[in-house]
Structure 1
Amino acid sequence: MLYLWIKALHIFFVIAWMAGVFYLPRIFVNLAMETDRNASERLLLMARKLYRFSLWLSVFAVLFGAYLIYLAYGAHMPGWLHAKLALVVVLIGYHHMCGGILKRFERGDNKRSHKWFRVFNELPVFLMLGIVLLVVVKPF
């Protein structure tokens, strides 16, 4: 029964974290296009709050996920789980990269176009798809 509660909490925090990871780069698209200083400040405020909030969500997602692994597998993890964890590490890196991009926007130091951010915005979708496929299909 504990396993199911932990699993439910892990899924909840992953979904909430992904909402932030999917939306934050969309704010970057708008920031890269914005010319009005007041609008840029509002977007930066939104981006700051979303980044901080989603960072905490990621911590809980990872903690509950680690506990799930401990409960289900201990030290003997299957191959698909190793691949999933590798993609999760990339996703965590992506999220932290968003933090670095946010700092550049705050300094007024962004050199990238809104088109670049539109492509950048799609990367976590593919990471999430890979993670879900690995968890559901368990190909190896």
Structure 2
Amino acid sequence: MTDILIALYPWTKAIHIMAVMSWMAGLFYLPRLFVHHVEQAGNVQGLSPVFDMMEAKLLHLIMRPAMIATWLFGLLLVMTPGIVDWSQIWPWTKGAGVLAMTWFHHWLAMRRKDFVAGTNVLTGRKYRLMNEVPTVLMIVIVLSVVVRF
């Protein structure tokens, strides 16, 4: 098994990076859709179902598969011999960042359910603030892996 993981390492890493990029794109975009949903859907009749559809497709067709692929290929990288030194701090800070990013993904999914149920209570300003969460987590994750602090 270790020989296969070593041989597939460049492919595993490439797919992991592509999955992360796709997931991050959704994590940046979905809160922006929520901002516009809150601020514009009440002004134009029939606009709310359009936002519902866009949010659902982004969440279920792009973000969820990208998150799953990120986790799958990330775990394969972790299992590849010689890639992670668990005595260092960086794998733990990266792991904490990825867990927080996953929590944020699920938090967004819960907010989408609020929109569908008509129970959203957050403002556009609050969604704008939450839109900064993936940026902060991305900084922690990238610095952890590249600088290895």
Aligning the two structures, in what range does the TM-score lie when normalised by the shorter sequence?
over 0.9
Question: Aligned-pair distance for 1:72?
Answer: 3.5
- Report the counterpart of residue 124 of structure 2 in structure 1: 114
CA displacement at 1:75 relative to structure 2: 8.3
In the TM superposition, 1:52-131 aligns within 5 A as 52-53=60-61, 54-73=63-82, 77=86, 78-131=88-141
Task: Check whether the contact 2:39–2:124 (CA below 8 A) recurs between aligned residues.
Answer: yes
Partner in structure 2 of residue 39 of structure 1: 47
Whole-angstrom CA distance in 1 between matches of 2:28 and 2:74? 20
Structure of higher CA gyration radius = 2
Greater CA deviation, 123-132 or 36-45?
A: 36-45
One-letter identity of the residue aligned with 2:72: L
SS in 1 for 2:46: helix
What's the C-alpha RMSD, in Å, of the aligned pairs?
1.5
Report the secondary structure of 1:109's partner residue.
coil
Gaps of 5+ in 2: 1-6
Percent pairwise identity: 35
Query: Would you tell me which structure has more helix in proportion to its own residues?
Result: 1
Q: Secondary structure at the match of 2:51?
A: helix
Counterpart among 14, 23, 39 of residue 8 in structure 1: 14
Determine the C-alpha separation between the residues in 1 that align with 2:35 and 2:84. Answer: 42
Say whether the 8 Å CA contact 2:52–2:116 is kept in structure 1: yes
How many residue pairs get aligned? The number is: 139
Q: TM-score, normalised by structure 2?
A: 0.88
Q: 1:73, CA displacement in angstroms? A: 4.6
Q: Could you give the per-residue CA deviations for residues 32-65 of structure 1, whole angstroms, max 9, x where no partner exists?
A: 1021241111011000010112111100111000
